[in-house]
Amino acid sequence: MIPGMPGDSQVYLNGEFTRVDEAKISVLDRGFIFGDGIYEVVPVYHGKPFRMTEHMNRLDRSLQALRIPSPKSREQWLELVNELIRRSATPSCVVYLQVTRGVYKREHAFPTTEITPTVFGMTTEFTPPTAEQRERGIRVISIPDERWLHCEIKSVSLLGNVLARQQAAEAGVDEVIQFRDGFMTEGSSSNFWVVSAGKLLAPPKDNLILEGIRYGFMAELAEETGVPFEARRITQDEVASADEILVTSATKEVLPVLQLNGKAVGNGRPGPVYAKLRAAYDARIAAL
Ligand code: PDD
């Protein structure tokens, strides 16, 4: 039994599908020992993966960053994702993919002989934010960003993110907004956006944030809906005085942030830029 997981969910591990409570990896897997691996989280609506090409491109970039040889071709990844969706209990789900460098004696440097990467895949249930959650928005606190300097890699080494999210949990809020040297970076598992004087702002795509798949998507939606967009460094004061703050991720889609450090953001209600982008987001999902 795995707490919180239905025991009969089917997962993929190194070429085979098994029950989640029967899938086993080696204690010397470098993902387990060092967090030496990468992952992807792909939202699926009515059986169709959303922004799949972009997720696959990011998976390739992460593997390249860690110099892990890609264990599958693009076609094989797509095949695997479709098979996971087919076996999923619900047609709307989230596909989780993970690749680690593989199994070897414990030694920090890369193995000197060729090893086979470990490939894991599963689906989990996905309920997109309801009308009520969209109205209620999310509450956040600001904290210093204490993570490493390669946040652009979607690595499974997530201790900094885990500790950040735990601070949110202990503060009784939904997420954190992290700041490095006085500038906004991102959440523990999401990207943040600020609306100031009608303009949508996001931090630059550099090594200090993970470029969410919704980063490029929101930029596209802003263009489509005539919302001016700029990627630049955003100060803590700009965040505190923002007209609107938005959050995006595969599972949050786009939601308004309605409380920051216990204070209302804007007038405490979802704002007009959120409404525009949200409608455009919904239209793209409906057109899938
Ligand atoms: N997290 N930044 C970080 C640190 C993230 O972990 C995520 C996603 C994002 C948003 O990326 P995307 O739009 O591709 O979901 C930004 C996923 C959902 C997770 O770890 O579960």
Domain boundaries 131-287, corresponding CATH code = 3.20.10.10
Give the C-alpha separation, 145 to 177, whole Å. Answer: 8
pLDDT over threshold 80, residue 31: yes
Residue 144 CA to ligand 1 center (angstroms) comes to 18
User: For 259, which DSSP code?
Assistant: E
Residue 90 CA to ligand 1 center (angstroms) comes to 22
pLDDT over threshold 90, residue 6: no
Give the C-alpha separation, 8 to 103, whole Å. Answer: 27
Percentage with pLDDT > 70 across the chain: 100
Which ligand 1 atom sits closest to the C-alpha of 215? 13
Residue-wise pLDDT for 185-244, tens only, equals 999 999 999 999 999 999 999 999 999 999 999 999 999 999 999 999 999 999 999 999
Residue-wise pLDDT for 245-259, tens only, equals 999 999 999 999 999
Through-space distance between the first and last CA atoms of the chain, rounded to whole angstroms: 36
Give the C-alpha separation, 218 to 120, whole Å. Answer: 29
- Contact (CB, 8 A) for 151 and 207: yes
Residue 189 CA to ligand 1 center (angstroms) comes to 4
What is the domain partition of the chain in residue ranges? 10-125, 131-287
Strand segments (E) across the chain = 10-13, 16-19, 37-45, 48-49, 93-100, 118-125, 138-144, 175-180, 183-184, 191-196, 199-202, 229-231, 244-249, 253-260, 263-264
Structure tokens at 247: 């959050």
Handedness of CA 150, 154, 159, 162 (dihedral sign): positive
- The tally of CA atoms less than 13 A away on the side-chain side of residue 34 is 19
Q: Using pLDDT thresholds of 50, 70 and 90, give the confidence band for residue 4.
A: confident
* Catalytically annotated residue among 24, 48, 105, 154: 154
pLDDT over threshold 80, residue 7: no
pLDDT over threshold 90, residue 272: yes
Q: Ligand 1 pocket check: which of 39, 158, 159, 190 to mutate, most ligand atoms within 8 Å of Cβ? A: 190
Domain boundaries 10-125, corresponding CATH code = 3.30.470.10
Q: Using pLDDT thresholds of 50, 70 and 90, give the confidence band for residue 265.
A: very high
CA distances from 257 to 66, 129, 135, 144 (A): 34, 13, 10, 18
214 three-state secondary structure: helix
State yes or no: is 154 an active-site residue.
yes
**Model confidence, pTM:** 0.97
Residue-wise pLDDT for 90-142, tens only, equals 999 999 999 999 999 999 999 999 999 999 999 999 999 999 999 999 999 99
CA distances from 210 to 1, 190, 256 (A): 33, 8, 20
- What mean pLDDT do residues 24-52 have? 98
pLDDT over threshold 80, residue 8: no
Residues with CB under 6 A from ligand 1: 41, 161, 186, 189-191, 210, 212-214, 248-251
